[in-house]
Amino acid sequence: MKKLPLIEFLKKEEPIIADGGMATSLYDKGFYINRSFEELSLVEPHADFEVSQGFKQAGADLISTNTFNAVLPKLEKHGIQDSLEDILKASVKIAKDVAQDDAYVLGVMGPLGLVLEPLGPLGEEEAYSHFETTAKILDREGIDGFNLVGFHDLNELSIAVKAVKAVSKLPVLAHMGIQENLKTSYGHSLQNFVKRMESLKVDVVGLAGEVGPSGMLSALNVLRPLTELPISLLPNAGMPRYVNDQYIYLCNPDYMGKYAKRFLQAGANIVGGHCGVSDAHIKAVKNSARVASVSEVSQTFINIGSSQSGVDLANGNGQENPVSFAERSKLSAALSRGERVFSVEIVPPKGVDFVKFHEGCEQLQDGGVKFVNIPDGARAVARMSSLALATYVQRHFDIEPIPHLTTRDRNLIGLQSDLLGCHVNHVRNILAVTGDPPKLGNCPGATAVYDVDAIGLTHILSNMNAGLDLGGGSFGKPSTFVKGVALNPTTTNWELEIRRFKYKIEAGADFVITQPIYSIPAYREFFDRLGPIDIPIIMGIWPLVSLRNAEFLNNEVPGVVVPDWALEQMEKAGSNKEEAVKRGVEIAIKTMEEAKGIVSGFQVSAPFNRVDVALEVIHAL
């Protein structure tokens, strides 16, 4: 007998059984995590077939393609992006060979592995294109429906749904990953998830992964009253443990089976599994489904109309009023009063000896400078932590630190943790920077993270200042950070710099520090194109100390342009070091004199940590 179309099958009152975790099942077969599991559909098709066949024999009605990571950004990490279409076609063929006429094939699509704007560098149009490419091939190869799983960002999930619906009329099952607090890692709630997916007219809403059976049941009790759509639950087999060089999920099949019955009685329509869920788990789920009385649906739902569920956390309701800009730090107070700000940049040491850094801070304090800038791994060179030094300065000097924080070296968890650590140590000023690629520095084999860029980090800081986490969920008392961003007015790519700078302002930047400027006409020309802005600008100044130094900055430091006239001035000093420093100071002073009416202050770099040169420039103004 010919099977029903999937859309009709999904409307059945009987429980529907989905399969389990493809990747973890392949891992159990001995394929290690440092490779693309999706590529196995091409190079080890028997392994892919055996896993899917095991799920079907266990009772799965829905068979997933091995395509969770089959999108260009993820395949590029393994250097197999040119195999995208071949991988998709091979995986669909294997799933269809397993499903035959008594099961359905779901084309699986997962997240891209890149953070979308405004947090990250990936634009919505580019994300849409990636999803569309995968969806077209899956649809063409004859799947029965789409299964979107592993998403935490509702914006990314929405883009994926739109891309799928633009190229296919097949049913769409949309799953969100939740944590124990019943929200995604981005802070999106179940209410927001349902509202968004219903507006996009998906066919099934569901939850996949991150939590085990117990947490999934708690989520279902909230989710079921929110929608009349079929609900799919794909829990993890508990939390993984790393034992003897292997990841092991400790949730046994009997436990999964018991919860499958509870899921069905509480209103779930589709039950399967995600990470760690094997064919043995699915067999237990199938057995429970046979004996479960689906009509005995639990009525012990959480009251969605209660005050607990009705709070709009995305707007920070119930939180303290954010601290005003002028009250957050000495820097913000000075900028609010319209004072001309002077800061000196001192580069952290490469080793444990920070005597020169300490002495430099003493010089600044004695010289009446109120602020010190501390770079974070500038030019991708490993140095002492800017945040740790900022804490040291905060505790030992009457000057206020402005540490740089790069997104190159920290993932989203590390960034937020470090920022919270800064806050408890009363470090309030943060200059958000993306960071140079590791290949430019002294550890070229290091891995760059770049979960977000400087725009995304500014967005995170703004959320924290509203008492909100990454995705807009409340975390309690707001932070009081003063958010700085970098700007390069002398770049050759004005269009890109202007676009990114506007994004930084939209993300909530409080002040700007520019790259070192040597040409005020070029600076003015940039801002003529940019248009008016309403946040303070602190101009970067780097006193030159030699012709070689000038040539190095001009040719080897990204974003710095030393004009010909300045190079000619430094050349005139010849080999006379004192004369070279004198000319460098004169160039810096000349630039600052021309700019003092159009900027809020100056960040003067201490060339080669010569604080005396920076102070000479400042005191001459």
Q: In this predicted structure, what is the pLDDT of residue 295?
A: 41
For residue 213 the two structure tokens come to: 């059976």
Could you tell me the pLDDT band of residue 38, with boundaries at 50, 70 and 90? confident
Mean pLDDT of 113-129: 86
* Partners of 400 in beta bridges: 371
Q: In this predicted structure, what is the pLDDT of residue 553?
A: 85
Q: Which residues of 271-301 are buried (b: 16+ CB within 10 A; e: fewer)?
A: bbbbbbbbbbbbbbbbbbbeebeeeeeeeeb
Q: In this predicted structure, what is the pLDDT of residue 304?
A: 31
Query: Following DSSP, what letter does each residue of 445-465 receive, concatenated?
Result: TPPP--SS-HHHHHHHHHHHH
Q: In this predicted structure, what is the pLDDT of residue 315?
A: 39
Q: In this predicted structure, what is the pLDDT of residue 489?
A: 93
Q: In this predicted structure, what is the pLDDT of residue 240?
A: 66
Residue scoring higher pLDDT (482 or 476): 482
Closest Cα to residue 322, out of 478, 471, 464? 478
> Each residue of 224-264: pLDDT tens digit?
999 999 999 999 987 766 555 555 676 889 889 999 999 99
Mean pLDDT of 347-374: 96
Q: In this predicted structure, what is the pLDDT of residue 307?
A: 30
Closest Cα to residue 600, out of 541, 535, 542? 535
Residue ranges, CATH 3.20.20.330, the chain: 16-302
CA distance 612 to 16: 75
Query: Which segments of 340-476 are extended strands (E)?
Result: 341-345, 371-374, 400-406, 429-433
Least confident range from 20-34, 210-224, 416-430, 604-618: namely: 20-34
Least confident range from 79-88, 234-243, 433-442: namely: 234-243
Report whether CATH 3.20.20.330 matches the domain 16-302: yes
Mean pLDDT of 271-275: 93
Least confident range from 392-401, 436-445, 501-510, 587-596: namely: 436-445
> Each residue of 384-430: pLDDT tens digit?
999 999 999 999 999 999 999 999 999 988 999 999 999 999 999 99
CA distance 40 to 66: 9
Percent of the chain with pLDDT over 90: 64
**Is the per-residue pLDDT at 350 higher than 60?**
yes
**Is the per-residue pLDDT at 1 higher than 70?**
no
Residue scoring higher pLDDT (294 or 396): 396
Could you tell me the pLDDT band of residue 140, with boundaries at 50, 70 and 90? very high
Query: Following DSSP, what letter does each residue of 56-121 receive, concatenated?
Result: HHHT-SEEE-S-TT-SHHHHHTTT-GGGHHHHHHHHHHHHHHHHTTSSEEEEEE---SSPBTTTSS
Could you tell me the pLDDT band of residue 57, with boundaries at 50, 70 and 90? very high
Q: In this predicted structure, what is the pLDDT of residue 555?
A: 85
| Cβ-proximal residues to 193 (8 Å cutoff; 6+ apart), any chain | 154, 176, 184, 205
Mean pLDDT of 426-454: 88
Residue scoring higher pLDDT (314 or 137): 137
> Each residue of 574-599: pLDDT tens digit?
989 999 999 999 999 999 999 999 99
Mean pLDDT of 92-112: 95
**Is the per-residue pLDDT at 516 higher than 90?**
yes
> Each residue of 309-346: pLDDT tens digit?
333 333 344 345 668 999 999 999 999 999 999 999 99
If you compute the radius of gyration of the chain from its CA atoms, what whole number of angstroms results?
Answer: 29
**Is the per-residue pLDDT at 298 higher than 70?**
no
Identify the CATH assignment for 327-620 out of 3.40.640.10, 3.30.450.30, 3.40.50.300, 3.20.20.220.
Answer: 3.20.20.220
Compute the mean pLDDT over every residue in the chain, rounded to the nearest whole number: 88
Q: In this predicted structure, what is the pLDDT of residue 208?
A: 94
**Is the per-residue pLDDT at 169 higher than 80?**
yes
Residue scoring higher pLDDT (172 or 316): 172
Q: In this predicted structure, what is the pLDDT of residue 242?
A: 53
Residue ranges, CATH 3.20.20.220, the chain: 327-620
Are residues 88 and 48 in contact, defined by beta-carbon separation less than 8 angstroms? no
Q: In this predicted structure, what is the pLDDT of residue 134?
A: 96
